[in-house]
Chains A and B, each alone.
Chain A
Amino acid sequence: MREFTGEQLSAIEYRRLDACVVAGPGSGKTTVLVERYKRLVEREGLNPNQILAITFTEKAAANMKSRLAAEFRGDSTRLRELERGWVSTIHGFCNRLLRENAIAAGLDPRFTMLDERQAEDLRSGCMNSALDTMVAERREEALGLIDMIQAPMFLAGQLKSVYDAILAAGRTIQEVRTVPSPQAGGPDAAGLADILLAIVSQWGDAMLGTPVRRDQKRDLQEWALRLREANGAPFLVLKQVLADCPINLTRIHPDVRPVVKAFRDDALEALESSLVDAETSRHRTLVFDVLELFDELYRRRKTEIGALDFNDLERRAIQMLREHPDVRKRVREQFRQVMLDEYQDINEQQADLVALIRGADQFFAVGDPNQSIYGFRHARPEIFRKYRDEVVGEGKHSAEILHNFRSRAAILATVEALLNSATGIDARQLLPKRLFHDKVEPPVEILRVLATDKDEAPEREARWLAYRILAMRGSLVLSGKDGTRLAEFRDMAILCRVGDAMQPILDALDDAGIPYVCGRRQSFLTQREGLDIRAALHTLANPRDEVALATVLRSQLVGLSDEALLRLKMQGHSLISGLNVVGFDRSRLSGFAPEDAEKLGSFLRNLKRWRVAQAVVSLDVLISRVLTESGFRWQPGTVKGDNVEEFLRLARGRNAGRSLSDFLVELESVEDAASKEAELSDEDQGNRVQVMTTHAAKGLEFPVTMIAAMEREGRKGAPSVSYTPEFGMGLRWTDARAKEKDGLKDTWAKANGDRLKDREEEEGNRLLYVAMTRAEEHLILSYSMTGKSVGGWAKKVDEYFQLKGQPPALEPVIARTGEFAVTARIVDTDPPLLKLERSVSAASVVVMERPEVSGQHDSTVNVTSLVAFGLCPRRYYLQRYLGWTSGRARRFDPEELPEAEDEVADTSAAELGTMVHSILAGEPGAWPPRAVELASVFQASELGLRASRAAKAEREWDFIIDVAGTLVRGTVDLWFQDDAGQVIVDYKTDDISADGARTKAAEYAPQLALYAIALGQSRAYLHFLRPNVVVEVAVGEGAQAAVRRLVRDLGTAQNSLQFDLNVGDHCRACSFYKGMCPAESGGDQEESSVAAV
């Protein structure tokens, strides 16, 4: 039985009313949730179907499901119920809810989900369309907007961000459009002038003791009068007056400075923003129009393809629950318990959703406002705080789980020391609960790297981090489950505040030979393998892309020498024409060095084949084939292997049917998206250091945590187009005429700017809180600097540990503050060179020999095919083996042979033949006279009469027999048994003469021999109905042996894919003669080629 703390137990067992639990880092929150879930099932008798458990990430949901499955292992009923349980992310929940209620939601019941990249591609397309439409339809207004708005080249991107933010806040464009100015109703220029005059008029002599102060008063009065006069003047005039404001606080008596300062900073700026509002109102309207048009286009496009994006999941679920009380009631009744993890990170829209689905007093929210770090995804920690206040206010259950089962006490103390008084952080004591082995050296280390060059500083810091990793690996003692152990690479993680700080670190790790895994590592598309595969694909799409062609030819896929490249070009007037020339005339290869000639020859052969294949095989199979056939091997677990497999995975994708050209376009957007950090899968990463942003580290823990590049700041300032739920959309403007470089803010932008600045600062502190609390045993706080002072998180470290001004030293110093000490390394040189020995351990990878393959002939063969093969193997190949016909295509019949129908030059003749056979098989029907006439030829014949009198007769008798290991199928037109023995008859409706019939009979001989094998001893006849000629065919042992040989020959041909050409008179009657078959020489070479080269 697991032991829980009292706080944990209280959270696990509380049932009665809504609950709100603040769970600090490392407090065993998931364990609490799992245990609570388990007890709800086991003790309260709830079915998993009645519990909704929402986690923040898919990884967390998978983890929770896995732990629940482990809890119920052995109980198949519970496991079965758990499979239908509701443990997922909020998006996963919405997805299922909408699928189960798609009609109520007005959705395509088979809707698909756009991933972030697909949605972004679609959004970009729609936003560009919206903007282009604006230019096309409202050109003058659009040009005015372009002229006025700040950074119009970024407008599309910023509008998309604002759109997302609006939806996340649960608002519509229309609602935001009508949000009033945050400072509506303020004084106009005249009013402001009056205010200033009123202020100034109160300045008596005591305030004006010096000439300078008196001048100031006068200047202000004069300016106020100018301002009053300018009231209602054009924007630029007023703007100029405002710019001329003569306020100089140093010239004003200290007692009244605050009033004037407030006037300047608030009232004047407010007026300026109001003026901007008035001046730009028409442009603002246009921006909203664009947003609305974009919204419409984007929605329409998604509807057309039956797809939703992540935001739609929430939005449509809310809409459905609001509009369909019956569904809402059912959902509320279904979920007797709603448990929501990471509640501090939800946004307004999600809060609305939760409110709709939770019944009274069935809600259990867990979170930690100090760990709210997803503001960029519109998370609002206020929602959690508000809920907690409500719970407390209503006397419901509010608890805090603050024991920390993760980190050493000194690490927690450092967190408290640096952050407990920071804005955005709820001051809280973190109580260490986990037991560690004793350790002499401090578990917190500061790495302060000094440099003179700003480019050099981060690189030096990265080298120090690599140095420390190598030093700690194998020597830093960690607490293991059963005693202590030495640190491995896998125990360490490097966290960065911003992703673009990672590159120097990755470079340093590369240089030091330290294995690592990074969600934001350089995209596989830009690494060697990715580049080569991409170039190969571009070449397949169109080899006239000569840069791609040259890349492939020089790559490991071909390996041509530079001399060969030049020789190739010299064969024509360009590389591609040279390739085409050599492709047509292989003798030209003799001019190349033998090795190059061989490589080029092989590439030419393959290029042709790959280009044919690309249209019909899936892209991943194509890539794999290109690599394999180029002799390129990749090994699982290597960087090269990872790169190739990532490429294959992408190609396999879910949109497997896309064309090569679509895929190549997609690759570009993948490359763009790759600059964003991908969440690392929880796949075993092997013994590698993990490098990630702090955001990606949320929910994880590492024995050794290094927070790097702490000097880097977060985002500063608001974008040109901003949005906050409080104030709406703000815009920044520029006016070339006014030479306003920093932009003019409208009143919304001004309010947003202040709000966003505060929010950024608060979230920055929480981000550091999260980063530091990932550490279990050792924490390194690392930063670099070039000047005397440093910004970002490093500033806190510098100030708290009083490191500013301390001299660099080769040996670390112990910085002691309060009750704990840290190790501080202050360095201004590079670390000693340390490099890990290259450690390729391929031993665990098994090399499998490729098998000797035989037996690739078909299992079955049709009698007619065999006859065709006997006549001309090439014709058999084209017609029956590949399936090219000139007649109407027959439906594919999966129960029959996978072969094409008979080749006939004239479809009406084929139909006639079929009809004659039907008549003779006794099928009823209204047959045309010509068919009846031909059928009667047989019926009136001697054979026909014998058949009609025979004791036993079978018509259209199909069979399947094993001949020399191949199953042969056929249909005997007629066989009968009479006193004279068994007779086989095959009718032919070929339009031939009597003489021709005898010649033709030889072609059909194998067919009858096979019938004889199937039926046993017989006499066999061919009856050519048109000339009414009956030919007896020998079907004795000799003929049967010959046909067995033919079956074997066919198998051999199929095995070796060799189908020889048998040129003869029959060629003229063959429909392939002048097309696919090379029997007739002199065809148009280019046209007859299916490949470009």
Chain B
Amino acid sequence: MRIVRGAPGTGKTALVFREFKQALAGGREPRIVVPTATLVRHFQHELARDGVICRPRSVISLARFVAELAGEACPLAPPALTRSLIRASLKLLELPAFAEAAKTDGMASVLEETITLFENAGCSPEKLASRALAPRAKAFARVWGAVDKDLQAAGYRSRLAQFRAAISNTLAVNGIPMDLWFDGFIHFSQLEVELLEALGDAGRVVITAGEDPDQTLFDEVTSGVARRPQMTEVAADSVEREADDIARRILELNAAGTPFREIGVAVRDTAVYEHLLRGVFERFGIPARFYFSRALAGHPAATFLGGLIDCALKGWDHRDALGALRADPRMGLSAAFDRFEFEVRERLPDRGVNELLKVASLEGMGDYKRRLADCLAIRQWPEESLRPADWARRMEQLAAKLFLPGRLEPVASFADLDSARSLTAGLRAFTEAVSDVAGLWPAERGLVTLAEYWAVAVQAVREAAYRVPDDRRDVVHVLSSYEARQWDVSALFVCGMTNRDYPKRSSQNLLFPDTEIDALRRVGIPLRRTSELEEDEDKLWGELRYRARRELIVTWPRHDAGGRSVEASRYLAGRDAVEVAQACVPAGGEPNRRGARGRLVSEELLAAVAGAHQQMSVTAVEDLAQCRFKFFAGRTLALRTPPDRPEERLQPKVTGLIMHEALEEWLKSNRRADFVALFEEAFAKACREKHLPPGFRLEVERTFLRGIAAKVSTTEQWQPEETRAEVPFELPLMPGILIKGRMDRIDRMNDTDCVIVDYKSGRTKRVESFTQNKAKLQGPLYALAARETLGLRTIAMMYVAVREDKRFGWGAVPGAELELLPMPEDWIEAAQALAVSRVEDLLAGLIEARPTEEADCRFCDFRDACHVKQDTVQELVQVVGGAHA
């Protein structure tokens, strides 16, 4: 066994390639073993492009190499199964040492990590259990032992067992001594060292290593001349500016002749930088390949297929069902489903499949009912019990049957390609996840229910990840700093170079803190201490520092993604030599010119408007008086808002309807009926029809309104000759325009006079404002209607703010103590004139957004669409980039 020792960038990999080629030329079957799959492909490509014709498997990852050596009898358990077994053991053993933490997901993950820690040290559960241990360590040993046993029962081996098998097989591979080069490793665990030693005994083994004096296991050989890329430090105010600056520099490098594929970006904090860089690169038009997995949770496959199974188990709650069905790749984005969704949302909360099918049968749902029936076909599953493997197969079949899109045309861009490939990649990950856990149940366990199986599978789905294939040639490589450490590019960016991530702090193992690790080391279990993990960090930086052939650009933000101050990594020289990130924007993409607004000029459209508005309600006229655009949006375009959420349905609009209904009935009874009883009836009816969810808020509102109802019926101050409720009228406003309305109440005081009453259930203050509001034409228009259609003179018109039983309006009622405003002389005429003028404007095509009462805009449904508050008032530039002075 040889070791090629040398500082990073001294040409160790080049030496490996050279020797590999020589061995190949000599008719031998050499192999290069590297730590990651990404590196495998990278090296394979390097060799092929160098004209070397060799078998791809000549370059192999350590994991696969070990698996190959160990043979098929030693398959490694899928991680999802291992985790499931850990959870199951934790649950079964109920270990007091883990207390409440034993019930948590995080605990399973701690145990998994700890198992790896011990396996790397070459320690078996039996060996650990044979030592005197503290209670928590003892508990760990028990769980580990149980998991190990279960793995074997399921036909799998632990990583330790697989290594052991590989070690014992080192001599047996075809009987031919192996030519092996191990390259790209920062550290070898004890287990790996044992393998290397065995391999060294059996064949020719060359290992590359850094200049770490601790690695005394191997012979020292040689070192080349270190590569010295030019290093630039860049500080940015924020992560956004940092990412922008990286994009700028990449574009400059590319413009200067560096192909994108010769540029890499090493990322440590993927949570911050992965999406940020994706977005920024896309915006600047930089093609990039991201070597990261994505969480399966939230993927349409998990949402749709997993959601359907969840729904089947939980009784098809409609809110959940909508979430699942929306992710259906065939019809989840269809117009029919959009309609279906809104229809179901109108009826929430609800559950059950029959109701869903009923909605899908409504007009306008197209073929959705058939599709829905396909999706609901699994509703019988919860009744069944199957063998775990059969459940796995069923779920795979479900996926194969349902998770298929409709017709697919080629995508328009590589961004779209990524989306399209995500679907298939996620689907695979889903089927793998749900089938991997089948091994959790021992063969003798027999049948399990869907609930039992899914409880485990769903956890696997939640934890699973998928990778979207991307093999484009000329792209910037964005990869983790761990993987980037063996990459060979012309220019490498290392972003997020803060003291939080470089070095990354390692926490002590929760079950075996360093003091206990020291004790175990003394008895021959060489576990790694936290400080050793931290030394790996120094080595990692050492590797990254020399990855680029020409340029290394390290960047860091002065403030993290949350705006908090952060310090540069101590690996950096200091702040004196730094460049400051330059603010930049991508060129092109001319903004859309704003289309003509506020005016219709086409004769065809004007005719359409005239045709559509030959009849108007009083409220519509009020809308027009308030704002022409409000009318256009609400009445001409008749824009519809989405259904309210159940908890939001009890709005003033609804309570107003309730009160109006009760009032109508009460007035019909000539005010003799029990108003509170009528109110209760109306309220109950609204609960049913509007699907108002029961609960505290409903009861508070009911109690409050009941109180109002009690007041309304007891505060009548005058006695008319006749009271009429909900009195309809039609009033020609101008030639061709008819106003239609319905007065809440009109009291005929005598043959000539009347009092008009309109009930308002909104806030009293707002009702009060109606008398000052120029756009509120209801009062005078009702008075006009009374005059023109009933021949009555309005001596008083009032709005009753029912919440506080207050009256606001104009005129006077004989015998009643009311504080109304005097009736203006030209009251009716002025309102009529305003209405006519607004209608004339409308017919002439004037639809601009200009509210009469600006304060009322906040109640307008179309306030976001109208753009009255135009593009941001000011564009005052914050000094950015280099202009800090």
Contacts and interface: CB of A to CB of B under 8 A. Distances in A.
Nearest to B283: A628
Contact of B100 (A106, A883, A892): A106
Given A542-B642, A657-B295, A957-B55, A620 B275 contact: yes
Contact of A839 (B255, B285, B331, B877): B877
A107 B101 contact: yes
Given A561-B597, A1089-B334, A83 B570 contact: yes
- Chain B CB count within 10 A is highest, among A630, A960, A965, for A960
Contacts of A107: 100-101, 104, 106
Nearest to A858: B471
A109 B37 contact: no
B592 A612 contact: no
B341 interface: yes
A890 B332 CA distance: 26
Interface string A1053-1090: 01001110000000000000001111000011011111
Given A153-B704, A156-B696, A855-B474, A615 B327 contact: yes
B642 A894 contact: no
Interface string B685-714: 000000000111111110110010000000
B570 A546 contact: no
A1078 B696 CA distance: 55
A855 B334 contact: no
Given A554-B595, A580-B335, A621 B472 contact: no
Nearest to B270: A656
Given A547-B639, A624-B283, A839 B872 contact: no
Given A69-B567, A958-B57, A562 B499 contact: no
B604 to A, nearest CB: 9
B878 A563 contact: no
Contacts of B100: 106-107
Contacts of B416: 609, 612-613
A513 B238 CA distance: 26
Interface string A42-65: 000000000000000011001101
A547 B60 contact: no
A851 B255 contact: yes
B132 interface: no
B330 interface: yes
Nearest to B703: A146
Interface string B384-411: 0000000000001001100011111111
B257 to A, nearest CB: 12
A1083 B101 CA distance: 55
Given A844-B881, A850-B285, A1076 B407 contact: yes
B414 A515 contact: no
Interface residues of A, number: 201
B617 interface: no
Given A102-B510, A562-B599, A649-B561, A845 B880 contact: yes
Contact of A547 (B107, B323, B861): B861
Nearest to B99: A106
A840 B600 contact: no
Nearest to B408: A1076
Contact of A535 (B339, B567, B864): B864
A76 B586 CA distance: 40
Contacts of B867: 528, 554-555
A255 interface: no
Contact of A1087 (B299, B331, B420, B864): B331
A789 interface: no
B404 A1075 contact: yes
Given A630-B592, A860-B45, A566 B285 contact: no
Contacts of B271: 654, 656
B338 A544 contact: yes
A183 interface: no
Given A109-B101, A111-B106, A613-B415, A143 B407 contact: no
A889 B397 CA distance: 11
A932 interface: no
A142 interface: yes
A638 B877 contact: yes
Interface stretch (A17-25, A171-179, A228-236, A685-693): A685-693
A619 B237 CA distance: 24
Interface string B543-554: 000000000000
Contacts of A635: 583, 585, 877
B212 interface: no
B724 interface: no
A109 B412 CA distance: 45
Nearest to A542: B338
B226 to A, nearest CB: 21
Interface stretch (B84-92, B244-252, B486-494): B244-252
Contacts of B591: 556, 559, 631-633
A216 to B, nearest CB: 35
Contact of B44 (A59, A569, A885, A960): A960
Interface stretch (A126-134, A367-375, A748-756, A1035-1043): A126-134
Residue of B407, B429, B474, B561 contacting most chain A CB atoms (<10 Å): B407
B146 to A, nearest CB: 18
A1093 to B, nearest CB: 7
Interface stretch (B123-131, B186-194, B462-470): B462-470
Contacts of A682: 559, 563, 565
A639 interface: yes
B285 A562 contact: no
Interface stretch (A32-40, A239-247, A640-648, A984-992): A640-648
A66 interface: yes
Contact of B275 (A80, A656, A860, A1090): A656
A529 B60 CA distance: 51
Contact of B565 (A66, A102, A688): A66
Interface in B517-562: 558-559, 561
Interface in B554-590: 558-559, 561, 563-567, 570, 574, 582-590
A889 B427 contact: yes
A515 B878 CA distance: 8
B563 A683 contact: yes
A599 B592 CA distance: 8
Interface in A127-170: 128, 131-132, 134-136, 142-143, 146-147, 152-153, 155-156
B101 to A, nearest CB: 5
B264 to A, nearest CB: 15
B336 A1086 contact: yes
**Highest count of chain A CB atoms <10 Å: which of B38, B589, B707, B874:** B874
A1041 to B, nearest CB: 19
Contacts of B420: 612, 882
Contact of B584 (A649, A657, A848, A899): A848
Interface in B858-885: 861-862, 864-865, 867, 869-884
Contacts of B105: 108, 110, 306
B844 interface: no
A554 B589 CA distance: 18
B276 interface: yes
B136 interface: yes
B48 A556 contact: no
Interface stretch (B172-180, B629-637, B775-783, B823-831): B629-637
B101 A102 contact: yes
A145 to B, nearest CB: 10
A966 B49 CA distance: 9
B259 A855 contact: yes
B305 to A, nearest CB: 13
Nearest to A687: B879
A110 B595 contact: no
B424 A683 contact: no
13 contacts: A100-B508, A109-B109, A596-B595, A630-B592, A636-B244, A654-B271, A849-B251, A855-B260, A877-B410, A885-B424, A892-B425, A960-B55, A1090-B408
* 7 A-B pairs with least C-beta separation: A898-B469, A681-B563, A855-B474, A561-B595, A110-B106, A106-B100, A559-B592
